[in-house]
């Protein structure tokens, strides 16, 4: 059985880009025979930039509710909060003592973010070590990552390999990156990649009226209703085709090219498609958000399983280090 581990930072409600590009592919991967998935909510990672406790709690609940609304199987797999597994903090310190300073100083994400942020704290600097602890604490075989996270996974592999070599034992499984070259790039309402950083995202869990307002704000060109339009350059169509079936896409493409079909019509069709396609998930999301006790129960089940695994691994590490 392959153990697959995925971490999701708790930074507000997952948007349509997160759902199509990460959440749905990860859930499909978890359903494949022979796979066992560990999904953790990286609420400690969020502390690097998110200092407000109430916002963090709300974000954690939103992330958990989204995964559960899209039918992540918590019987077969694990869903848990990073912060509820304190063993990861202890392991992070041990790994820090095996991590060369230049490795962290040369991390692409640190150099990029430290150039842009006013609050450059040591948490940002040692982020890859906490990430390494998150992974090797559970003997993960594969870690799905985007291309921007490949270097962090390589750092994890280097740290684990150095630790194993130091004590001439296979203490940690050396994880492999699972990079999906076909990962979906979802455009935002302005045509750039959908991102909270750009404030161009679509939150499918908004009330109907608010969701429609966001969809109707998608940027388009100035062609009149009567003019034929190019679907392949239109932000509305790019989003529509990611959600629609073959027949719906064919009909929408025809509407664009024959003319007498306005962008308002296309945006309304996209809005209605989002509502119909995600009706079940939208309802389930708000059921969970309005019932935090149920969310808590779901998370605690996963955390009990994860804590047991983490304790066993840390016991071995402490023994090797002479702390038992």
pTM: 0.91
Q: Which residues pair with 4 in a beta bridge?
A: 37, 142
Separation of alpha carbons 18 and 214, rounded Å? 17
Residue range 244-273: mean pLDDT, rounded: 97
Give me the count of residues in the chain: 324
CATH 3.40.50.620 fits 2-185+292-321, yes or no: yes
Residue range 266-277: mean pLDDT, rounded: 98
Q: Residue 182: pLDDT band by 50, 70, 90 thresholds? A: low
Range of weakest confidence among 23-37, 105-119, 125-139, 169-183: 105-119
pLDDT for res 282: 98
How many Cβ atoms from other residues are within 10 Å of residue 246's Cβ? 8
Domains of the chain, by residue range, sit at 2-185+292-321, 208-282
Range of weakest confidence among 85-89, 147-151, 292-296: 147-151
DSSP structure class, residue 78:
E
Indicate if the pLDDT at residue 268 is higher than 90. yes
Indicate if the pLDDT at residue 147 is higher than 80. no
CA 208 to chain centre: 25
Q: Which CATH class for the 208-282 domain? A: mainly alpha
Tens digit of each residue's pLDDT (9 = 90 or more) over 283-309: 999 999 999 999 999 999 999 999 999
pLDDT for res 183: 65
Contact (CB, 8 A) for 295 and 64: yes
Question: To the nearest whole percent, how much of the chain has pLDDT over 70?
Answer: 99
Q: Residue 185: pLDDT band by 50, 70, 90 thresholds? A: confident
């Amino acid at each position: 059985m392959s153990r697959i581990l995925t971490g999701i930072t708790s930074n507000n409600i997952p948007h349509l880009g997160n759902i199509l590009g990460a959440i749905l592919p990860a859930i499909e991967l978890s359903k494949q025979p022979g796979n066992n998935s560990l999904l953790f909510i990286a609420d400690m990672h969020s502390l690097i930039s998110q200092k407000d406790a109430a916002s963090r709690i709300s974000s954690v609940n939103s992330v958990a509710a989204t995964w559960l609304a899209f039918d992540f199987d918590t019987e077969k797999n694990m869903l848990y909060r990073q912060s509820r597994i304190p063993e990861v903090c202890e392991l992070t310190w041990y790994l820090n003592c095996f991590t060369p300073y230049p490795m962290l100083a040369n991390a692409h994400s640190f150099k990029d973010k430290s150039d842009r942020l006013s609050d450059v704290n040591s948490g940002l600097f040692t982020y890859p070590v906490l990430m390494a602890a998150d992974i090797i604490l559970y003997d993960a075989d594969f870690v799905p990552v985007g291309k921007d996270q490949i270097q962090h996974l390589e750092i994890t592999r280097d740290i684990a390999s150095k630790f194993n070599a130091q004590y001439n034992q296979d203490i940690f499984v050396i994880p492999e990156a699972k990079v999906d070259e076909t990962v979906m790039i979802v455009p935002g309402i302005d045509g750039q990649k959908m991102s909270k950083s750009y404030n161009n995202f679509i939150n499918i869990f908004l009330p109907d009226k608010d969701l429609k307002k966001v969809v109707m704000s998608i940027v388009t060109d100035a062609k009149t209703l009567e003019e034929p339009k190019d679907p392949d350059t239109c932000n509305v169509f790019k989003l529509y085709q990611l959600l629609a079936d073959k027949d719906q896409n064919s009909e929408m493409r025809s509407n664009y090219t024959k003319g007498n079909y306005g962008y308002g019509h296309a945006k309304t069709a996209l809005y209605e498609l989002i509502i119909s396609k995600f009706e079940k998930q939208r309802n389930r999301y708000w059921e969970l958000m309005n019932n935090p006790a149920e969310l808590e129960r779901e998370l605690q089940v996963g955390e009990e399983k994860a804590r047991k695994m983490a304790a066993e691994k840390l016991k071995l590490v402490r023994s090797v280090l002479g702390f038992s």
